[in-house]
Structure 1
Amino acid sequence: MKVLILGASGFLGGTIFSKIKNSGNEVLGTYSKNNKNRDYIKLDVFEISSLTALVTEYKPDVIIWTVMNHEREEEIAEKVMPALCDAVGSRRFIFVSTSVAYEKNMSESVEPFLRTAESYNHHYFNGKIKSEQVISKLPNYCIVRPGSIYGIDPFGEMDNRSLALKKHVDSGDIYIRANNIEFSIVDVNELADAIIELTTNDYVGILNVSEEKPVSHYAFNKALCRKYGWDDSCIVANEEKENIYYLDNSLRKRILKTRIGWL
């Protein structure tokens, strides 16, 4: 199996790349600015002719998209994704998306809503939603909507949430986290395993991938401290305007064998 990972220099992309390479399969990864691995090749996905030429010349069996660009995500959806999908054709295409709504137990059929210009990170969310619309016309696609990603990647690097917590642990500064805002989470290694399983799975459609149950921001940070052996006395609970957004994993549990566990 030949796999092309677009965005392999990212936290998730690099984890997928490492696992596939170690399994003995042929894999090619791309980076745009940050090259953490000499095996990656430089590619700006906005250079559309270079992107489509790579797909044509490398002839991968599977293409995995893990690119994230918070400012230009809508441009990706409108300019890059249609051309890429033409080049993809009938190949297996796995697209890492995001949560598309704010709702308890979001199923795969949840109605996405476009954010307004005043909304947090609206370009990113709207771009992912628009890309999903383009990709869903392909014959052999899987859109993965993951929970918030945490953990330690194969290069020993932690996710940004853990790093932010560690700064407070080290400094002793109070870290206020809401105990009434719940969200879905997933370990980067378990998410990577699930995506790799999907490369040989014939499921076509959207799939939520996160842990069984949601967790509050407060409980999540407490659990991270237990996991890494850190002093959790800096974490203080508060209540904010309730904002509940977590995933229903019923479909994932029926389709995938990959175990998605708790901290």
Structure 2
Amino acid sequence: MKRALIIGASGFLGGTIYYKLNNIGVNVLGTYSSQKKQGEYVKLDVLDTGRLIELIKDYNPDVIIWTVMNHELEEEIAEKVMPVIRDTIGNIRFIFMSTSVAYEKNMSEDVQPYLRSEDMYNYHYFNGKIKSENVIKTMQNYCIVRPGSIYGTDPYGEMDMRSRLLKEHVDSGEKYIRASNIIFSVVEVNELADAVIELANSDYIGIINVSEEKPVSHYDFNKALCKRYGWPDDCLEAYEESENIYYLNNDLRKRLLKTRIGSII
């Protein structure tokens, strides 16, 4: 890989991938939509497909890494943008950051995606990722990455949203109630970025889960964050609600990738 285009490079994961690629001498171009943050990024509204395709053709990357995560516009992106990319990029490697597409224990890559109804949390986001996956699977040279929930500190010193919210409670002393019976998959941002870069350099075509092998409850995850950052955890309080256990199977990732994925607990 000599030239990489990161769509959404001003985001938490996109910026981490950009930093790591730039640091190893890859010619990398990143895009931002509203906040530029760090890096030599170019402004791009991904719904402006004309400008997007112009950028791809002018830059002529070996790989495109799509890290855009838009809770409101994800379905519109799936319907209006992904078909245009598919019909334009030919054999350019396309890495797409997706999400957990179902609610099951030990979800393998062939799990049946579950389209959310309009009354469900973030339904535009989840449904959009699922619809984008369906388009991307018709491309020539693609890899769909389904990551666990992303946490950690990026190379610029910025923490993930969950850690920042926890820190607010730690600082204020306000109780932070987290469910002990909601179990999910997580992954540290730098390790996920390393895995994405490895996949960008590979010839694997298909879907791959990338998360820590051991799932964790919302409560234990926040306890582990406090331990990781050296914060007191007195504000945390466990409770039980309707049980929800959903996590990723990592057998394929362990067979295919050399990137080390640790564990928060």
Range moving further from structure 2, 79-88 or 144-153? 79-88
CA separation in 1, counterparts of 2:129 and 2:122? 11
Is 1:176 aligned with 2:177? yes
**CA 1:189 to 1:117, structure 2 compared with 1: closer, same or farther past 3 Å?**
same
One-letter amino acid of the counterpart of residue 6, structure 2: I
Cα deviation, residue 88, structure 1: 1.6
Give, as a single letter, the amino acid of the residue that structure 1 aligns with 2:130: I
**Per-residue deviation, 1:38:** 4.5
* Equivalent in the alignment of 1:47: 48
TM-score normalised by the chain length of structure 2: 0.98
CA distance in 2, matches of 1:162, 1:39: 27
Give 1:89's aligned residue.
90
Secondary structure in 1 matching 2:87: helix
* Alpha-carbon distance in structure 2 between the residues aligned to 1:93 and 1:186: 21
The alignment status of 1:204 with 2:205, answered yes or no, reads yes
Over 4 Å off, 4+ runs: none
The change in CA–CA distance for 1:38 and 1:186 in structure 2 (over 3 A counts) is closer
Q: Which whole-Å CA distance do the structure 1 matches of 2:158 and 2:88 have between them?
A: 33
1:142 paired with 2:143, answer yes
Q: Tell me, which stretches of 5 or more residues in structure 2 are unaligned?
A: none
Aligned to 1:110: 111
Which amino acid is the alignment partner of residue 28 of structure 2? V
Deviation at 1:71, TM superposition (A): 0.7
Cα distance in structure 1, aligned partners of 2:39 and 2:258? 32
Structure 1: 5+ residue stretches without partners: none
Query: Deviations 1:104-124 (Å, cap 9, x if unpaired)?
Result: 001000000111111110000
Q: How far did 1:37 drift?
A: 2.3
Instruction: Tell me which residue corresponds to 2:34.
Output: 33
**1:57-100, CA deviations, whole angstroms, 9 ceiling, x for partnerless residues?**
11000000001111111000000110012122111100000000
Matches within 5 A, 1:147-226: 147-226=148-227
Q: After TM superposition, give the deviation of residue 18 of structure 1 in Å.
A: 0.2
The root-mean-square deviation of aligned C-alpha atoms, in Å, is 0.7
1:125 corresponding residue in structure 2:
126
Shift of 1:245: 1.0
User: How many residues of Structure 1 are paired with residues of Structure 2 in the alignment?
Assistant: 263
**Secondary structure of the equivalent of 1:87?**
coil
- Which residue identity does 1:49 align to in structure 2? G
Aligned partner letter, 1:107:
S
Fraction of identical pairs, as percent: 68
Q: TM-score, normalised by structure 1?
A: 0.99
Aligned-partner Cα distance in 1 for 2:156–2:81:
30
Residue identity opposite 1:193 in structure 2: D
* 2:146 counterpart SS class: strand
